[in-house]
Amino acid sequence: MAAGAWFDWTTGDLVTEARFQDIQDSIVFIYASDAAANSALTNKVEGTVYFNTTDDVLKFWDGSAWVEISGVDVFALEFLIIAGGGAGGYSTTSAVEASGGGGAGGYLCKFASETSGGGSVTLNSFYVIPSTNYPVSIGAGATGLTYDFNSSNNGFPSYVGSLYASGGGGGGKQYPAARQGGSGGGGGPRYNPDGGSAGDGGSAIYAQGSDGGDHTGTPASAPNAGGGGGGAGATGSNGSSGNGGAGGNGKASSITGSSVTRAGGGGGAGTSSAGSGGTGGGGAGSRGGTATAGTANTGGGGGGTSNTSNPGGSGGSGLVILRYPDTYTITVGAGLTSSTSTSGGFSVTEITAGTDTVSWS
């Protein structure tokens, strides 16, 4: 038997057997189990619905069995995703050249009232479907160059599903400008045909970081100074009067339960003094020596070098932190290095290296 058509009732209409059957077929019944529903609804039809008071779910009869009525099970994932930091610029021994610091890796954050890198942008929620694999990768920091006049290398991206943080920009050296990245690299002694310098810092990607500082002075003559790499929380400082610019500061997040600052820019080199690294893992620049690398798992930029054959400082590796309701259990692929803690109704998984997938159940 199937339910009949809609009927517009008026005063005096008779409730016939057929019309009463239509009413009954449209009722949401209430039973404690499928067995109880089957015992009571001996004349059920395809589409009959009952509420299961034991499991607190609606079920419908598909013609042969009771099937739960439910929407797609999703939950909002909170996250901090940081890419690998850019390397600081390189300088040869043959000239007085102060290179720029590396930019911090791109910084994506969605937790409480915290904002993403480079300003006050609040990211949209990312919804996870359980039993679905999401690709994850932790970006490596860039390795500083030792062999040419090009700007240094960018860091590598970190990502979770479609959430993609770009690697930090490499610090400027000679001919090309400092590189764009999650945060921009600091400017180096970029040559113009007239012999002047136009060493602008690299630009940042929107909602991921800040621009690098500019180089000042004339290439191949002292004093000149490289700009600091941009950080997640502030632009890199310009080089000034032979003093390398400081790397831009990073941003603090409490997604793990305590406040930690990450994604600082690398300091620029100088012919008089070098710039300090930005708070949050940025490496210091150097004056005639070895520049400092960005700190691992912060996405910090590496420091730049001046008047030396030493390479620029390498960028720090990135990081992924995922926070989710503890009613769900994460499965982390073997290719990822991770740890998970639980407190206050939420689990927090920190992933520090590798490429693989994660899923929840």
pLDDT in tens, 91-126: 765 567 788 999 999 999 999 999 999 988 998 888
Spatial separation of the C-alpha atoms in residues 299 and 282, rounded to whole Å: 8
Given this model, what pLDDT does residue 172 score?
87
Spatial separation of the C-alpha atoms in residues 191 and 207, rounded to whole Å: 31
Spatial separation of the C-alpha atoms in residues 313 and 145, rounded to whole Å: 9
pLDDT in tens, 67-79: 887 766 778 899 9
pLDDT exceeds 60 at position 6: no
Domain ranges (residues) in the chain: 17-69, 71-361
Given this model, what pLDDT does residue 22 score?
59
pLDDT exceeds 80 at position 175: no
Sequence-separated (6 or more) residues with CB below 8 Å from residue 337: 351, 352, 353, 354
Mean predicted lDDT score pLDDT of the chain = 88
CA distances from 171 to 92, 180, 193 (A): 14, 9, 21
- Report the pLDDT averaged over residues 11-15: 65
CATH, range 17-69: 3.40.1620
Which is more confident, 85 or 223?
Answer: 85
In this structure, how many other beta carbons lie within 10 angstroms of the beta carbon of residue 329?
A: 12
pLDDT exceeds 90 at position 9: no
Cα torsion for 248, 250, 251, 254, to the nearest 10°? -160
Confidence at 2, pLDDT banded by 50, 70, 90: very low
Which is more confident, 27 or 226?
Answer: 226
- Give the DSSP letter string of 23-63: HHHH-EEEESSHHHHHHH-TT--TT-EEEETTTTEEEEE-S
Spatial separation of the C-alpha atoms in residues 309 and 276, rounded to whole Å: 20
Residues 263 and 300: beta-carbon distance below 8 Å: yes
pLDDT in tens, 177-198: 788 999 999 988 876 555 545 5
